[in-house]
Amino acid sequence: MTVQPDQIYRYCDPRAPHIRLRVMTVGPNRAEVFYLNTGRRGEILLNALHDSPTTKTGKPRRTGYALEAK
């Protein structure tokens, strides 16, 4: 999976499913993001961004962010 600008991710933790972010720019290890629910900017490690809300074994992810829209 390649993280690209303008992709939207949602938080995988079921206690806070309302947290969503948009990728603004992508660096070698981090992405600059814009949190849609708060309007703030921040940075996040690329390994926290996943292409699927489930793990390889089919269990729902509880950490990180899952791709919602391209």
- Domains defined along the chain, listed by start: 7-67 (2.30.30)
Sign of CA dihedral 48, 52, 56, 58: positive
Name the strand (E) or helix (H) holding 26.
strand 20-26
What pLDDT digit, counting tens, does each position of 4-61 carry?
A: 999 999 999 988 888 999 999 999 999 999 999 999 999 999 999 999 999 999 999 9
What pLDDT digit, counting tens, does each position of 33-46 carry?
A: 999 999 999 999 99
Question: For residue 44, what pLDDT is reported?
Answer: 96
Confidence band (pLDDT; 50, 70, 90) for 70?
Answer: low
The residue count of the chain comes to: 70
**Residue 21, Cβ density class (10 Å: 0-12 exposed, 13-18 middle, ≥19 buried):** buried
